[in-house]
Amino acid sequence: MVRILFLGDVVGELGRRAVISRLPVLKKEREIDFAIVNGENSAGGRGITPRITIDFLRAGAAVVTTGDHIWDQPDIIPFIGSEPRLLRPLNYPDGVPGAGSVVLETAKGAIGVINAQGRTFMRQDLENPFLALRAEVGRIREQTPIIVVDFHAEATSEKQAVGRFLDGQVSLVVGTHTHVQTADECIFPGGTAFLCDAGMCGVTESVIGSEIEAVVEKFVRAMPTRFHLAKGEVELRGLVVEVDENTGRSMAIERLVERVSLDGGPNGSR
């Protein structure tokens, strides 16, 4: 059995500090064989830098996935082509720097990771994610049956549709982007584990990572408002999935929620 940990969108300095400090412990405590971190918002809430990518990898992440903010930090463009463990969405046009998938060898066999982005309520100029995923999954299944898909998308319907579309072809489809963890974890009939959104690794008392008052003010007054990242206690959210290494079928899926005190260890998990 292969135990895979996935951590949702890391938001800002506090989120990344919590992930970097807790990831080695989580891997040991939960007997994790392979860890994936979505670093989408880890650089000040927008994008990721080379330095942060390296910090996540050194902390124990095997792969770092991203999403629609991948290009927000300009120094990521020359870097992403040299680091195959940092993924950008698969369904960009040909010739864009970086890659949308990677296959890594582990003690329990090869594991593939694919990062794709939805189009509903998001960028319409990307390629069709369903067609891109079908082709890439087919290619990777020639190397391994263990495949994890991070589908970075807004609409729950599009995420569920991708999960059903890939059922029986991949081990896990997990959604990211909304920063709000859903409670619909399940295993589809074909053996694909699914969670509509992993949630975020960020400040608990916030609105998806930003200060509460500013976000509420924008909704109330409908005026331009400057958002700042919230401060305070952090929660790590994600999931742990158990996969049969011979078939690639998922046998169990569990949501992860751990509240972290950056002054010293977790305050509790559930």
CA distance 128 to 142: 22
Contacts of 10 (CB under 8 A, 6+ apart): 16, 19, 37, 38, 39, 40, 41, 42, 56, 200, 201, 202
Query: Is 179 designated active site?
Result: no
Which one of 69, 152, 177, 179 is the catalytic residue? 69
CA distance 208 to 85: 26
Q: In this structure, what is the dihedral angle of CA atoms 9, 257, 218, 152, given to the nearest 10 degrees?
A: 30
CB crowding 122-144: b at 16 or more within 10 Å, else e: beeebbebbebbeebbeebeeeb
CA distance 68 to 40: 8
User: Cβ distance 23 to 61 under 8 Å?
Assistant: yes
Instruction: Match 């169990």 to its residue by tokens.
Output: 252
Comparing CA positions, the residue from 202, 153, 174 lying closest to residue 45 is: 202
Q: Contacts by 160-166 with C-beta closer than 8 Å and gap 24+?
A: 160/194, 160/196, 161/130, 162/116, 162/118, 162/129, 162/130, 162/133, 163/188, 163/192, 163/194, 164/188, 165/130, 165/133, 165/134, 166/133, 166/137, 166/192
Residues designated catalytic: 69
